[in-house]
Every structure is written in C-alpha cells, then in structure tokens.
C-alpha cells in the first residue's frame, strides 16, 4: 500500500506540480506583498513577512500533499480495489498504516524540497535544525495524512471531499498562526486558534526553525505543549481511522 501510493503520486505530474507549486506561489506572492508592512508590536523591526510566513507555508505544503494523496482512497473504493484489499488476509491496521505512511512520505519529501529554500527567506539552518525540522515535518505529515484519511473514508465523492476541505481544512490552516500571530487577533479568534491542533504544529515548526523564538516577539505555545498536542493529534487520527475501517457496514462498499 505504501509503495503503491508513492508510485501513483509521482506518475501523476499534475498532482505533483499542484502540491508543490501552490504553496510556493502563496509564499512568494503573499510574503512579498505584505513584506515589511508586517509589524507585530513586540517583534524586531527587521522581521520580514517572508520569514514569518515560512513555517505556515511548510504546513500548507504538507497539508496539500497529505490531504490530496488520500483522494486516492475514494478512487480505490469506486474502482473496487479497496474492497479487494479489505477482503484479503491483510489486517485492517495494515491497510490504514500503509495508506497513511504512503501519504505522509509524499508530504515529507515535498516539505523537504521546500526546506531547501530557507536561505531565500533569510533563514540559515544548521545541521541540528535540519534534523529537527525533518523529525517535526514527518510527525506533522502523519497527522495531516491521518486527518485526510478520516475525511476521505467518509466522503462518497471527490467533490464532497473538496467541499469538506474548503469548509474545514483551509480555515484551520488560516487560524493556525500561519498568516497572522495570536497577538492582535480578536478574542474569539484567539480562542479558535488555541483549540486548533494546527496552531501547535505551526508552533512546533517555529521552535525547530528558530532557536531564538522568545527573542522574536512572536507569542507561541511552548515547545513541550506543541509537541504533546501534535503527538496526541497523530494518535487520535490514527485511532479514528482504524475505528472507521474496522466498524461494520463499511460506507460506500456495499
């Protein structure tokens, strides 16, 4: 299942370009457009928006690749492949793990390519930071692919999947601190940001990229809290995915 997902994705060049190109265009256009007009009250004057927006763009790239890779679940169900897999001797846990690992691998590799552009944002990375970023991106990729699996398993069509994505996942990304910090937002927006698991994933990326986060003036959850929430998120989406696959009366397979 893992190998099939990787080969299938890279044979479809449109998905590859879309998953990598869209966040890159967002980063360049939005980052350059906002530019030096971005001034959080407590942040240093030389903090350019391209630097601030960089972790959020990595999250967006991981989100796009991980979520879109799970669309194949809907296609497999429609074509009958998923049913043949589920009636085979392969365990249900193996099906879930293979699918999630496949999508997470794709997301991780895409994120790794974007990490090479860090010098263009004025971010210099040492070997330790690169290794930290790789570990953090792998963890985030697992959580987002698991979330995509949960949504795709319950979606009866690709159109329905995209509707849920636009209604739920894009706002989750916007309210993650990717576009604007907690400080300065309305109180009810700050509340939504605090209960959003993607906020802690953006924070985790910040801590991995910038060892001097406290001196940047950007209020973020602590590294420990960010890591704990992200790990819980990974376990939660995997647990829900496994429950959905094991429950009787599999949706869309009748």
Q: DSSP for 196-234?
A: -HHHHHHHHHHHHH-TTGGGGT-----HHHHHHHHHHHH
Residue 235's pLDDT is: 95
Collapsing DSSP states into helix, strand and coil, what is residue 37?
helix
Chunk the chain into consecutive blocks of 10 residues (it has 254) and report each block's average pLDDT, rounded to whole numbers: 65 62 72 63 62 87 83 75 67 81 87 84 82 93 92 84 84 88 82 93 89 59 92 94 77 46
The pLDDT score that the predictor gives to residue 14 is 61
pLDDT at 59: 92
| Residue 126 confidence (pLDDT) | 83
Tell me the C-alpha distance between 216 and 56, whole Å.
16
Residues 144, 169 contacting (CB under 8 angstroms): no
**Alpha-carbon distances of 90 from 86, 95, 218, 246, 247, rounded to whole Å:** 7, 7, 47, 13, 16
- Regarding pTM above 0.75, the answer is yes
What is the model's pLDDT at position 87?
65
Check residue 254 and give its pLDDT: 42
Nearest to 57 by CA among 237, 205, 224: 205
């Amino acid at each position: 299942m893992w190998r099939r997902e990787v080969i299938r994705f890279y044979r479809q060049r449109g998905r590859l370009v879309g998953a990598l190109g869209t966040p890159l265009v967002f980063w360049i256009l939005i980052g350059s457009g906002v530019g030096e007009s971005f001034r959080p009250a407590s942040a240093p004057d030389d903090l350019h928006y391209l630097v601030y927006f960089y972790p959020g763009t990595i999250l967006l790239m991981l989100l796009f690749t991980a979520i879109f890779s799970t669309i194949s679940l809907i296609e497999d169900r429609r074509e009958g492949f998923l049913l043949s897999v589920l009636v085979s001797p392969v365990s249900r846990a193996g099906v879930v793990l293979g699918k999630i690992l496949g999508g997470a691998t794709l997301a991780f590799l895409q994120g790794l390519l974007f990490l090479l552009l860090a010098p263009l944002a004025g971010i210099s990375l040492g070997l330790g930071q690169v290794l930290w970023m790789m570990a953090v991106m792998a963890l985030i990729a697992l959580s987002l692919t698991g979330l995509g699996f949960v949504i795709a398993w319950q979606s009866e069509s690709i159109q329905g999947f995209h509707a849920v994505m636009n209604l739920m996942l894009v706002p989750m990304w916007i309210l993650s601190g990717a576009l604007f910090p907690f400080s300065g937002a309305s109180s009810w927006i700050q509340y939504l940001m605090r209960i959003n698991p993607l906020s802690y994933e953006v924070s985790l990326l910040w801590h991995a990229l910038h060892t001097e986060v406290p001196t940047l003036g950007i209020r973020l959850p602590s590294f420990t809290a960010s890591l704990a929430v992200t790990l819980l998120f990974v376990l939660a989406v995997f647990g829900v995915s496994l429950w959905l696959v094991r429950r009787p009366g599999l949706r869309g397979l009748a």
